[in-house]
Homo-oligomer: A and B are copies of this chain.
């Protein structure tokens, strides 16, 4: 019974895959969980220590990430029951997000060279990730982008843009 509106009202935020993705992995600690499992740390106590999250919150996040298909929970020992968490394919495909965030942090949050972690690429060099356009290979710069919302009523530069 939702009457179609011209202008989206207060209760219908912009439909958007960024928002949808963040609904899954945007809660506190979720991306840090992913960082750890991508680093190969798969166990609950390890995660608690390395992330610094409260145990109960971490347990909640892990359930959510498993439900979302980003992590798997595998038994690595019955008697006593013990589990490990690993990234799924979908989880691994979030690693670029982590690398991009890390690069940003390295660049803007520490001018000097105290990078707390260096990632090596198989080509032999330190990984400095760039986001590029798959079609033309050029690095993605803001000025080169034009957004086209697919749903009606949504603008990208309000009618009152300066």
Instruction: Report A's interface with B, CB cutoff 8 A.
Output: 7-22, 24, 26-28, 31-32, 35-36, 38-43, 46, 48-52, 69, 76, 84, 87, 90, 92-110, 114-138, 140, 142-151, 154-158, 160-162
Q: How far is the CA of A103 from the CA of B84 in the complex (A)?
A: 28
- Is A157 a contact partner of B21 (Cβ separation < 8 A)? no
Give the number of copies in the complex: 2
B131 near A131 with CB under 8 A, answer yes
Q: A10-B49, A19-B35, A41-B158 are in contact. List 18 more A-B contacts (CB 8 A).
A: A14-B36, A14-B52, A17-B104, A17-B105, A18-B102, A20-B105, A21-B104, A22-B31, A26-B26, A39-B147, A42-B162, A87-B142, A96-B100, A116-B151, A120-B148, A127-B140, A128-B134, A131-B131
